Structure 1
Amino acid sequence: MNHVPDDPIRPEDTVLILLAAGRSQRFGDVGSKLTEPFLNRPLGLHVAVALESLPFKERLAIVDGDRLDYRPYGFTQIHNDDPGEGMSRSVRLGVARAKEAGARAVMIALADMPRVTATHIQRVFDAADGGLTVVASSDGCAPMPPVLFGADHFDFLLTLTGEAGAKDLVEGGRHVITSPAELIDVDTREQLDRLRELVHAPEALTRAGARRSD
Protein backbone atom coordinates (compact mmCIF):
# COMPACT_ATOMS: atom_id res chain seq x y z
CA MET A 1 0.00 0.00 0.00
CA ASN A 2 1.33 3.44 -0.91
CA HIS A 3 2.02 5.82 1.95
CA VAL A 4 -0.40 8.72 2.11
CA PRO A 5 1.29 11.71 3.78
CA ASP A 6 -0.47 13.77 6.42
CA ASP A 7 -1.25 17.42 5.86
CA PRO A 8 2.03 19.28 5.47
CA ILE A 9 3.49 20.97 8.52
CA ARG A 10 4.02 24.67 7.96
CA PRO A 11 5.83 27.34 9.98
CA GLU A 12 2.38 28.70 10.90
CA ASP A 13 1.71 25.41 12.74
CA THR A 14 5.08 25.36 14.45
CA VAL A 15 6.66 26.89 17.54
CA LEU A 16 10.28 27.92 17.10
CA ILE A 17 12.33 27.09 20.20
CA LEU A 18 15.66 28.91 20.25
CA LEU A 19 18.00 27.48 22.89
CA ALA A 20 19.96 30.42 24.29
CA ALA A 21 20.69 29.27 27.84
CA GLY A 22 23.92 27.67 28.97
CA ARG A 23 27.14 28.31 30.82
CA SER A 24 29.54 28.59 27.83
CA GLN A 25 32.03 26.49 29.76
CA ARG A 26 34.12 25.51 26.73
CA PHE A 27 34.32 29.10 25.54
CA GLY A 28 36.02 30.54 28.59
CA ASP A 29 35.21 33.09 31.24
CA VAL A 30 33.21 35.59 29.16
CA GLY A 31 29.82 35.45 30.90
CA SER A 32 28.10 34.26 27.71
CA LYS A 33 29.56 33.49 24.30
CA LEU A 34 26.28 34.62 22.78
CA THR A 35 27.13 38.26 23.49
CA GLU A 36 30.46 38.04 21.63
CA PRO A 37 30.52 40.31 18.55
CA PHE A 38 30.25 38.68 15.13
CA LEU A 39 29.62 40.64 11.93
CA ASN A 40 28.72 43.71 14.01
CA ARG A 41 26.00 41.90 15.96
CA PRO A 42 26.03 39.67 19.05
CA LEU A 43 26.63 36.06 18.05
CA GLY A 44 23.40 34.86 19.65
CA LEU A 45 21.11 37.16 17.67
CA HIS A 46 22.02 36.01 14.16
CA VAL A 47 19.58 33.09 14.03
CA ALA A 48 16.77 35.28 15.37
CA VAL A 49 17.38 37.80 12.58
CA ALA A 50 17.82 35.14 9.87
CA LEU A 51 14.45 33.55 10.64
CA GLU A 52 12.41 36.76 10.97
CA SER A 53 10.70 36.17 7.61
CA LEU A 54 9.24 32.78 8.56
CA PRO A 55 5.71 33.05 10.02
CA PHE A 56 6.06 30.77 13.04
CA LYS A 57 3.04 30.23 15.28
CA GLU A 58 5.18 31.46 18.17
CA ARG A 59 8.85 32.15 18.81
CA LEU A 60 10.37 31.16 22.15
CA ALA A 61 13.86 32.03 23.35
CA ILE A 62 14.95 29.91 26.30
CA VAL A 63 17.40 32.11 28.20
CA ASP A 64 19.17 32.11 31.56
CA GLY A 65 19.46 35.84 32.05
CA ASP A 66 18.95 39.17 30.35
CA ARG A 67 22.26 39.50 28.51
CA LEU A 68 20.49 39.39 25.14
CA ASP A 69 17.00 40.63 24.39
CA TYR A 70 15.15 38.52 21.80
CA ARG A 71 11.83 40.33 22.22
CA PRO A 72 12.44 42.89 19.43
CA TYR A 73 12.61 39.90 17.04
CA GLY A 74 9.17 38.61 18.02
CA PHE A 75 10.25 36.17 20.73
CA THR A 76 8.74 35.37 24.07
CA GLN A 77 11.58 34.82 26.53
CA ILE A 78 11.34 31.90 28.96
CA HIS A 79 13.86 31.78 31.79
CA ASN A 80 15.69 28.52 32.44
CA ASP A 81 16.51 28.79 36.12
CA ASP A 82 18.73 25.68 36.07
CA PRO A 83 20.84 25.63 32.87
CA GLY A 84 23.31 23.36 34.63
CA GLU A 85 20.83 20.52 34.22
CA GLY A 86 21.68 20.46 30.54
CA MET A 87 20.07 21.36 27.25
CA SER A 88 17.16 19.02 27.92
CA ARG A 89 15.64 21.37 30.50
CA SER A 90 15.48 24.16 27.93
CA VAL A 91 13.88 21.75 25.45
CA ARG A 92 11.28 20.70 28.02
CA LEU A 93 10.39 24.31 28.82
CA GLY A 94 9.87 25.12 25.15
CA VAL A 95 7.96 21.96 24.27
CA ALA A 96 5.63 22.36 27.25
CA ARG A 97 4.72 25.85 26.02
CA ALA A 98 4.26 24.58 22.44
CA LYS A 99 1.99 21.76 23.63
CA GLU A 100 -0.18 24.24 25.56
CA ALA A 101 -0.41 26.39 22.42
CA GLY A 102 -1.68 23.47 20.34
CA ALA A 103 1.30 23.48 17.99
CA ARG A 104 1.62 20.71 15.40
CA ALA A 105 5.41 20.79 15.60
CA VAL A 106 8.44 22.45 17.19
CA MET A 107 11.55 23.65 15.41
CA ILE A 108 14.50 23.49 17.81
CA ALA A 109 17.43 25.75 16.91
CA LEU A 110 20.61 26.78 18.72
CA ALA A 111 21.56 30.39 19.30
CA ASP A 112 25.25 29.55 18.83
CA MET A 113 24.74 28.53 15.17
CA PRO A 114 24.90 31.99 13.58
CA ARG A 115 24.99 30.95 9.89
CA VAL A 116 21.65 29.11 9.63
CA THR A 117 19.41 30.51 6.88
CA ALA A 118 15.67 30.74 6.33
CA THR A 119 16.13 28.93 3.02
CA HIS A 120 17.52 25.87 4.77
CA ILE A 121 14.75 25.92 7.38
CA GLN A 122 12.14 25.97 4.62
CA ARG A 123 13.78 22.91 3.08
CA VAL A 124 13.47 21.18 6.45
CA PHE A 125 9.74 21.94 6.43
CA ASP A 126 9.50 20.61 2.87
CA ALA A 127 10.71 17.22 4.18
CA ALA A 128 8.15 17.07 7.01
CA ASP A 129 5.33 14.52 7.03
CA GLY A 130 2.75 14.92 9.79
CA GLY A 131 2.81 14.30 13.52
CA LEU A 132 5.57 11.69 13.44
CA THR A 133 7.94 14.10 11.68
CA VAL A 134 11.57 14.17 12.70
CA VAL A 135 13.67 16.18 10.26
CA ALA A 136 17.20 17.20 11.20
CA SER A 137 19.84 19.25 9.48
CA SER A 138 23.02 17.57 8.28
CA ASP A 139 26.44 18.56 7.01
CA GLY A 140 26.60 15.30 5.06
CA CYS A 141 28.22 13.44 7.93
CA ALA A 142 25.96 13.69 10.96
CA PRO A 143 22.49 15.01 11.88
CA MET A 144 22.30 18.11 14.03
CA PRO A 145 20.07 21.09 14.81
CA PRO A 146 17.98 22.78 13.67
CA VAL A 147 15.53 19.89 14.05
CA LEU A 148 11.80 19.75 13.38
CA PHE A 149 9.71 17.46 15.61
CA GLY A 150 6.05 16.66 15.01
CA ALA A 151 3.58 16.81 17.90
CA ASP A 152 3.49 13.01 18.29
CA HIS A 153 6.96 13.30 19.85
CA PHE A 154 6.13 16.04 22.37
CA ASP A 155 5.51 13.67 25.28
CA PHE A 156 8.84 11.95 24.64
CA LEU A 157 10.69 15.26 24.45
CA LEU A 158 9.19 16.21 27.81
CA THR A 159 10.98 13.23 29.40
CA LEU A 160 14.49 14.20 28.26
CA THR A 161 17.21 14.71 30.85
CA GLY A 162 20.83 15.84 30.74
CA GLU A 163 22.67 16.67 27.52
CA ALA A 164 22.03 13.47 25.55
CA GLY A 165 18.75 14.78 24.19
CA ALA A 166 16.87 12.94 21.46
CA LYS A 167 19.95 11.59 19.68
CA ASP A 168 18.48 8.22 18.69
CA LEU A 169 15.24 9.82 17.51
CA VAL A 170 17.13 12.36 15.43
CA GLU A 171 19.45 9.78 13.90
CA GLY A 172 16.44 7.74 12.81
CA GLY A 173 14.66 10.68 11.17
CA ARG A 174 15.06 12.42 7.84
CA HIS A 175 18.16 14.54 7.27
CA VAL A 176 18.33 17.63 5.06
CA ILE A 177 21.89 18.26 3.92
CA THR A 178 23.29 21.74 3.62
CA SER A 179 26.75 23.30 3.53
CA PRO A 180 28.87 22.51 6.60
CA ALA A 181 29.63 26.24 6.80
CA GLU A 182 25.95 26.94 7.48
CA LEU A 183 25.86 24.53 10.41
CA ILE A 184 28.92 25.76 12.29
CA ASP A 185 28.28 25.49 16.03
CA VAL A 186 30.45 27.90 18.03
CA ASP A 187 31.56 26.20 21.24
CA THR A 188 35.06 27.61 21.70
CA ARG A 189 36.82 30.94 21.20
CA GLU A 190 39.04 29.30 18.58
CA GLN A 191 35.97 28.24 16.58
CA LEU A 192 34.63 31.79 16.67
CA ASP A 193 37.98 33.18 15.56
CA ARG A 194 38.08 30.74 12.61
CA LEU A 195 34.51 31.65 11.67
CA ARG A 196 35.34 35.36 11.75
CA GLU A 197 38.26 34.76 9.42
CA LEU A 198 36.18 32.53 7.13
CA VAL A 199 33.57 35.23 6.50
CA HIS A 200 36.01 38.17 6.72
CA ALA A 201 34.23 39.57 9.75
CA PRO A 202 35.61 42.92 10.96
CA GLU A 203 36.09 41.41 14.43
CA ALA A 204 38.78 39.14 12.97
CA LEU A 205 40.98 42.22 12.60
CA THR A 206 40.25 43.78 15.98
CA ARG A 207 40.03 40.86 18.41
CA ALA A 208 42.53 40.65 21.23
CA GLY A 209 45.81 39.22 20.00
CA ALA A 210 45.06 39.72 16.33
CA ARG A 211 48.04 40.47 14.14
CA ARG A 212 48.12 44.09 13.02
CA SER A 213 50.02 45.45 10.05
CA ASP A 214 52.40 48.37 10.56
Structure 2
Amino acid sequence: GLNSPLLHKAQMANGGWGHRPANRPGGNGYGAINVITMQAKMAWALIQRCGLKVDATKYQAAHDFVARGTNDIGYVWYKDGGRNNPNYADMGRTGASAIAHYLSPVGGKKYRDFAKLNATCIGNNPKTFPDTHGSPLLGMGWTALGALPDPAMFRKLMDYNRWHFALAHCPDGTFYYQPNRDNNPQDYAANPRLCASAVTALILSVKHRRLQMTGAKLITRN
Protein backbone atom coordinates (compact mmCIF):
# COMPACT_ATOMS: atom_id res chain seq x y z
CA GLY A 1 0.00 0.00 0.00
CA LEU A 2 0.92 3.66 0.20
CA ASN A 3 3.87 4.10 2.57
CA SER A 4 5.05 7.63 3.23
CA PRO A 5 8.06 6.74 5.47
CA LEU A 6 9.57 4.49 2.79
CA LEU A 7 9.12 7.20 0.17
CA HIS A 8 10.85 9.68 2.48
CA LYS A 9 13.77 7.29 2.99
CA ALA A 10 14.28 6.61 -0.71
CA GLN A 11 14.16 10.26 -1.83
CA MET A 12 17.54 11.54 -2.99
CA ALA A 13 19.18 14.81 -1.96
CA ASN A 14 18.16 16.49 -5.23
CA GLY A 15 14.48 15.77 -4.53
CA GLY A 16 14.08 12.88 -6.96
CA TRP A 17 13.86 9.09 -6.95
CA GLY A 18 15.69 6.66 -9.21
CA HIS A 19 16.23 3.03 -10.05
CA ARG A 20 18.06 2.44 -6.76
CA PRO A 21 17.52 3.72 -3.19
CA ALA A 22 19.23 6.94 -2.12
CA ASN A 23 22.94 6.72 -1.23
CA ARG A 24 23.44 3.40 -3.04
CA PRO A 25 25.49 4.14 -6.18
CA GLY A 26 25.99 1.77 -9.07
CA GLY A 27 23.61 -0.56 -10.83
CA ASN A 28 21.04 0.29 -13.45
CA GLY A 29 19.92 3.79 -14.33
CA TYR A 30 21.09 7.38 -14.03
CA GLY A 31 20.20 8.24 -10.46
CA ALA A 32 17.05 10.26 -9.96
CA ILE A 33 14.67 10.40 -12.94
CA ASN A 34 11.43 12.27 -13.49
CA VAL A 35 8.97 9.46 -14.17
CA ILE A 36 9.76 7.66 -10.89
CA THR A 37 9.81 10.99 -9.03
CA MET A 38 6.35 11.86 -10.29
CA GLN A 39 5.00 8.42 -9.43
CA ALA A 40 6.30 8.96 -5.89
CA LYS A 41 4.72 12.42 -5.80
CA MET A 42 1.45 10.87 -6.99
CA ALA A 43 1.59 8.44 -4.08
CA TRP A 44 2.30 11.29 -1.67
CA ALA A 45 -0.62 13.28 -3.07
CA LEU A 46 -2.97 10.35 -2.44
CA ILE A 47 -1.45 9.78 1.02
CA GLN A 48 -2.32 13.37 1.89
CA ARG A 49 -5.82 12.96 0.51
CA CYS A 50 -6.20 10.01 2.89
CA GLY A 51 -5.52 12.40 5.78
CA LEU A 52 -1.95 11.28 6.48
CA LYS A 53 1.09 13.50 6.88
CA VAL A 54 3.80 14.12 4.31
CA ASP A 55 6.95 16.18 4.87
CA ALA A 56 6.12 19.46 3.14
CA THR A 57 9.75 20.29 2.40
CA LYS A 58 10.40 16.95 0.71
CA TYR A 59 7.10 17.19 -1.17
CA GLN A 60 8.13 20.58 -2.53
CA ALA A 61 11.58 19.22 -3.40
CA ALA A 62 9.93 16.64 -5.68
CA HIS A 63 8.15 19.45 -7.52
CA ASP A 64 11.36 21.45 -7.78
CA PHE A 65 13.09 18.41 -9.27
CA VAL A 66 10.56 17.99 -12.07
CA ALA A 67 10.36 21.75 -12.65
CA ARG A 68 14.08 21.74 -13.45
CA GLY A 69 13.36 19.21 -16.19
CA THR A 70 10.21 20.82 -17.63
CA ASN A 71 10.50 23.21 -20.58
CA ASP A 72 8.27 26.10 -21.65
CA ILE A 73 5.81 23.89 -23.57
CA GLY A 74 5.35 21.63 -20.54
CA TYR A 75 7.45 18.70 -21.72
CA VAL A 76 9.24 16.75 -18.96
CA TRP A 77 12.72 15.45 -19.76
CA TYR A 78 14.26 12.21 -18.47
CA LYS A 79 16.53 13.13 -15.57
CA ASP A 80 17.54 16.15 -13.46
CA GLY A 81 17.66 19.22 -15.69
CA GLY A 82 16.62 19.95 -19.28
CA ARG A 83 14.63 23.08 -18.53
CA ASN A 84 16.13 24.97 -21.49
CA ASN A 85 15.72 22.20 -24.08
CA PRO A 86 12.73 23.34 -26.21
CA ASN A 87 12.10 19.97 -27.90
CA TYR A 88 9.94 16.99 -26.92
CA ALA A 89 9.84 13.21 -27.30
CA ASP A 90 7.70 10.47 -25.69
CA MET A 91 5.20 11.76 -23.15
CA GLY A 92 4.89 9.18 -20.35
CA ARG A 93 6.76 11.19 -17.74
CA THR A 94 4.94 14.37 -18.81
CA GLY A 95 1.67 12.57 -18.15
CA ALA A 96 2.90 11.34 -14.77
CA SER A 97 3.75 14.92 -13.83
CA ALA A 98 0.32 16.14 -14.89
CA ILE A 99 -1.41 13.51 -12.74
CA ALA A 100 0.83 14.13 -9.71
CA HIS A 101 0.13 17.86 -9.75
CA TYR A 102 -3.57 17.43 -10.53
CA LEU A 103 -4.03 15.07 -7.58
CA SER A 104 -2.15 17.24 -5.11
CA PRO A 105 -4.31 18.68 -2.29
CA VAL A 106 -1.71 21.43 -1.81
CA GLY A 107 0.01 23.71 -4.28
CA GLY A 108 -3.08 25.65 -5.35
CA LYS A 109 -3.11 27.48 -8.68
CA LYS A 110 0.61 26.90 -9.24
CA TYR A 111 0.13 23.14 -9.29
CA ARG A 112 -3.10 23.32 -11.30
CA ASP A 113 -1.36 25.45 -13.92
CA PHE A 114 1.58 23.03 -14.00
CA ALA A 115 -0.76 20.09 -14.60
CA LYS A 116 -2.52 21.99 -17.38
CA LEU A 117 0.79 22.92 -19.00
CA ASN A 118 1.77 19.24 -19.06
CA ALA A 119 -1.65 18.29 -20.46
CA THR A 120 -1.42 20.96 -23.15
CA CYS A 121 1.97 19.64 -24.22
CA ILE A 122 0.50 16.15 -24.61
CA GLY A 123 -2.53 17.30 -26.59
CA ASN A 124 -0.58 19.60 -28.88
CA ASN A 125 2.08 16.96 -29.62
CA PRO A 126 0.07 13.73 -29.94
CA LYS A 127 2.16 11.81 -32.45
CA THR A 128 4.55 10.23 -29.91
CA PHE A 129 1.67 8.59 -27.99
CA PRO A 130 2.34 4.98 -29.14
CA ASP A 131 6.13 5.43 -29.28
CA THR A 132 7.39 5.48 -25.70
CA HIS A 133 10.44 4.43 -23.68
CA GLY A 134 10.81 1.65 -21.11
CA SER A 135 7.33 0.16 -21.03
CA PRO A 136 5.40 1.50 -24.03
CA LEU A 137 2.05 0.43 -22.58
CA LEU A 138 2.69 2.11 -19.23
CA GLY A 139 3.88 5.18 -21.12
CA MET A 140 0.65 5.27 -23.12
CA GLY A 141 -1.38 4.94 -19.94
CA TRP A 142 0.40 7.79 -18.17
CA THR A 143 0.22 9.93 -21.32
CA ALA A 144 -3.52 9.50 -21.76
CA LEU A 145 -4.37 10.11 -18.10
CA GLY A 146 -1.98 13.05 -18.06
CA ALA A 147 -4.01 14.82 -20.74
CA LEU A 148 -7.16 14.74 -18.60
CA PRO A 149 -6.53 17.96 -16.61
CA ASP A 150 -7.50 19.66 -19.89
CA PRO A 151 -10.31 17.60 -21.49
CA ALA A 152 -9.83 19.31 -24.85
CA MET A 153 -6.24 18.06 -24.91
CA PHE A 154 -7.35 14.51 -24.11
CA ARG A 155 -9.78 14.71 -27.02
CA LYS A 156 -7.01 15.90 -29.36
CA LEU A 157 -4.75 13.06 -28.25
CA MET A 158 -7.42 10.41 -28.77
CA ASP A 159 -8.61 11.75 -32.12
CA TYR A 160 -5.08 11.84 -33.52
CA ASN A 161 -4.39 8.26 -32.44
CA ARG A 162 -7.61 6.53 -33.51
CA TRP A 163 -5.55 4.58 -36.03
CA HIS A 164 -3.48 3.01 -33.25
CA PHE A 165 -6.51 1.65 -31.42
CA ALA A 166 -7.97 0.43 -34.71
CA LEU A 167 -4.80 -1.51 -35.55
CA ALA A 168 -4.58 -2.98 -32.04
CA HIS A 169 -8.25 -4.04 -31.88
CA CYS A 170 -8.81 -7.79 -32.31
CA PRO A 171 -12.02 -9.51 -33.55
CA ASP A 172 -12.72 -10.90 -30.06
CA GLY A 173 -12.73 -7.39 -28.55
CA THR A 174 -9.28 -7.53 -26.97
CA PHE A 175 -6.34 -5.33 -27.93
CA TYR A 176 -2.87 -6.49 -28.97
CA TYR A 177 0.53 -4.89 -28.47
CA GLN A 178 1.78 -2.95 -31.50
CA PRO A 179 5.42 -2.67 -32.64
CA ASN A 180 7.33 0.07 -30.83
CA ARG A 181 10.81 1.53 -30.84
CA ASP A 182 11.38 0.17 -27.31
CA ASN A 183 9.76 -3.26 -27.11
CA ASN A 184 9.77 -4.00 -23.38
CA PRO A 185 9.79 -7.79 -22.80
CA GLN A 186 6.88 -7.65 -20.37
CA ASP A 187 4.73 -5.70 -22.83
CA TYR A 188 5.67 -7.63 -25.95
CA ALA A 189 6.66 -11.18 -24.99
CA ALA A 190 5.06 -11.98 -21.63
CA ASN A 191 1.45 -11.14 -22.36
CA PRO A 192 0.97 -8.72 -25.25
CA ARG A 193 -2.81 -9.15 -25.38
CA LEU A 194 -3.53 -8.89 -21.64
CA CYS A 195 -1.33 -5.84 -21.03
CA ALA A 196 -2.55 -3.96 -24.10
CA SER A 197 -6.19 -4.72 -23.32
CA ALA A 198 -5.83 -3.62 -19.69
CA VAL A 199 -4.21 -0.29 -20.57
CA THR A 200 -6.72 0.38 -23.35
CA ALA A 201 -9.61 -0.45 -21.02
CA LEU A 202 -8.29 2.05 -18.47
CA ILE A 203 -7.91 4.76 -21.11
CA LEU A 204 -11.36 4.19 -22.62
CA SER A 205 -13.01 4.04 -19.19
CA VAL A 206 -12.04 7.57 -18.15
CA LYS A 207 -15.45 8.81 -19.30
CA HIS A 208 -16.97 7.13 -16.23
CA ARG A 209 -14.84 9.26 -13.85
CA ARG A 210 -14.53 6.51 -11.24
CA LEU A 211 -10.97 7.26 -10.07
CA GLN A 212 -9.48 10.39 -8.52
CA MET A 213 -7.03 10.58 -11.42
CA THR A 214 -9.74 10.10 -14.07
CA GLY A 215 -12.10 12.85 -13.00
CA ALA A 216 -13.90 11.67 -9.87
CA LYS A 217 -14.47 14.44 -7.34
CA LEU A 218 -11.22 15.06 -5.50
CA ILE A 219 -11.68 14.25 -1.81
CA THR A 220 -9.40 14.88 1.17
CA ARG A 221 -10.04 13.01 4.42
CA ASN A 222 -9.37 14.74 7.72
TM, length-normalised to structure 1 = 0.26
Instruction: Looking at secondary structure, tell me which structure has more helix per residue.
Output: 2
Instruction: Report the TM-score when normalising by structure 2.
Output: 0.25
More strand per residue:
1
The structure whose RCO (Cα within 8 Å, separation 6+) is larger is: 1
